[in-house]
Amino acid sequence: KLEKSISALKGHYIICGFGRIGSVICAELHAEKIPFIVIEESPAKNEELENEGHLYLNMDATSDEALVKAGIETARGIVTAVSSDADNVLIALTAKGLRPDIFVLSRSSDIKNEAKLIRAGASQVVSPYVIGGRRMAEVLKRPTVVDFIDIAMANSRIGLVMEEARVGAGSSLIGKNLIESNLRKDFGVIIVAIKNPSGDMIFNPQPLEKLHAGDVIVVLGKKEDVGRMNDIL
């Protein structure tokens, strides 16, 4: 049954490692109903994975066989979150060798290894200890700003979320500026930024900024309103 479910996966994420970082990533994806599969070599994690209802493989994530079995050909991206930076480098190299266009998000325990992970093919590298340290410093320096970000980024009781939405090729909003789009009027969202297909980011876009196919809009608003807006986009 497990293998049948795995073979049906498409547009999913492959999470390599179910340790402290990997388990948090899985919990977040599971809460948003985003499909994923875990590759975890240690059988000691099986009971926890089964209790959480996650799809998983007991295999070595550095091997071609494991990534192929996890559906790398149809995956949306791969996360290398094992504890060893050397293994994360090897997983990134293996993933890129099997599928050069795959998005690879890598964990780095030592900030000095970030460059190595990028050279190995990681699309983006995150250093949890560096982020954690900066976050703690921000709480000391700017506690109100941190509170606001928590409300916007985490599941809060008031239902406010910061979300991104892509302008589809068939959207009726293509070519319209932000005033003409009526996004704020119809959905009550605040448009924080627009990222165009070339990767350029426009922060606090002006009312006359036009929308184009492939643009990604970053908005702040109520979860249900953002969901309705996504349908229009």
The pLDDT score that the predictor gives to residue 217 is 94
The pLDDT score that the predictor gives to residue 62 is 96
CA gap 86, 159 in Å, rounded: 40
The pLDDT score that the predictor gives to residue 156 is 56
The pLDDT score that the predictor gives to residue 4 is 81
The pLDDT score that the predictor gives to residue 57 is 95
In DSSP terms, 227 is beta-bridged to none
The stretches in the chain having pLDDT less than 50 are none
The pLDDT score that the predictor gives to residue 123 is 96
pLDDT digit string (tens) for 210-222? Answer: 999 999 999 988 8
